[in-house]
């Protein structure tokens, strides 16, 4: 990789992508950093800086072509390719995530749902059948699994994560309330719902005073 892009920039990319998608749906052909900045409540300067980390997508005197920029950011994010995802932990959250991601376009495809509870074995969740975690090695052999979403209790998360990585899955979407950052050779994205709720709680308290 060339120069390292900061996570602050990367966190903003999906939001640009979303706004450009909406503009595209609205039939808007071109937009200037200034107009986009007004819609998104960020500075035009930041938009131009962010985009220029990846290349010059605009044109002086014209602005940015919406369709082109949308496409390019999609490429940067990798949402124009297919990503196969399995969900491990078939509780409420796991089932919800399995259903949710399926609804999203963006190339993410849920191809398996796993659990350790034998009672769930064979149960159908929409068009998926819950499989046992013991069958994962065999499954991985025959399917190209890129991402494992972990929607399981924090007690088992670490062990399962290591198992998953050993099987050759090098990306984890972690919903368990535990840090997995000491595992080698894996890209991790955390969704810590209770952290999010606590931040909300803090901001409520501040807002009152």
Partner DNA sequence: TAGATTGTTAATCGATTAACAATC
Q: Extract the tokens encoding 113.
A: 């749902």
d(CA 32, CA 36): 6
Where are the strands (E) in 2-117, listed by range?
30-31, 58-59, 63-65, 83-88, 108-115
Site string for DNA, 25-54 (x = CB under 7 A): ------xxxx-------xxxxx-xx-xx--
Question: Of the listed pieces 9-17, 30-38, 57-65, 115-123, which binds a second copy according to CB under 8 A?
Answer: 9-17
With b for 16 or more beta-carbon neighbours within 10 A and e for fewer, the 172-203 pattern comes to bbbbbeeebeeeeebebebeeeeeeeeeeeee
Question: Of the listed pieces 24-32, 64-72, 157-165, 201-209, which binds a second copy according to CB under 8 A?
Answer: 201-209
d(CA 42, CA 39): 8
Residues contributing to the site for a second copy (CB under 8 A): 1, 5, 10-11, 13-15, 17-18, 41, 76-79, 83, 91-93, 95-97, 99-101, 104, 106, 108, 146-147, 170-171, 173, 177, 179, 181-182, 187, 189, 191-207, 209
Residues contributing to the site for DNA (CB under 7 A): 6, 8-9, 31-34, 42-46, 48-49, 51-52, 56-64
């Amino acid at each position: 990789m060339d120069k390292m892009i900061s996570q602050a920039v990367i966190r903003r990319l999906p939001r640009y992508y979303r706004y450009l998608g909406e503009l595209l749906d609205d039939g808007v052909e071109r937009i200037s950093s200034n107009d986009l900045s007004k819609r998104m409540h960020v500075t035009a300067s930041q938009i131009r800086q962010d985009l220029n980390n990846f290349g010059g997508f605009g044109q002086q005197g014209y602005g940015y072509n919406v369709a082109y920029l949308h496409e390019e950011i999609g490429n940067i994010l990798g949402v124009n390719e297919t990503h196969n995802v399995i969900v491990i932990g078939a509780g409420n959250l796991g089932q919800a995530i399995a259903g949710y991601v399926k609804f999203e376009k963006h190339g993410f495809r849920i191809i398996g749902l796993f659990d350790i509870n034998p009672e769930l074995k064979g149960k159908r969740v929409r068009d998926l059948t819950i499989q046992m975690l013991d069958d994962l090695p065999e499954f991985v052999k025959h399917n190209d699994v890129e991402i494992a979403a972990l929607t399981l209790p924090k007690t088992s998360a670490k062990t399962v994560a290591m198992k998953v990585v050993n099987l050759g899955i090098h990306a984890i979407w972690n919903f368990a309330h535990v840090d997995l950052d000491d595992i080698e050779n894996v890209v991790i994205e955390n969704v810590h719902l209770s952290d999010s709720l606590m931040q909300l709680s803090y901001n409520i308290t501040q807002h009152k005073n």
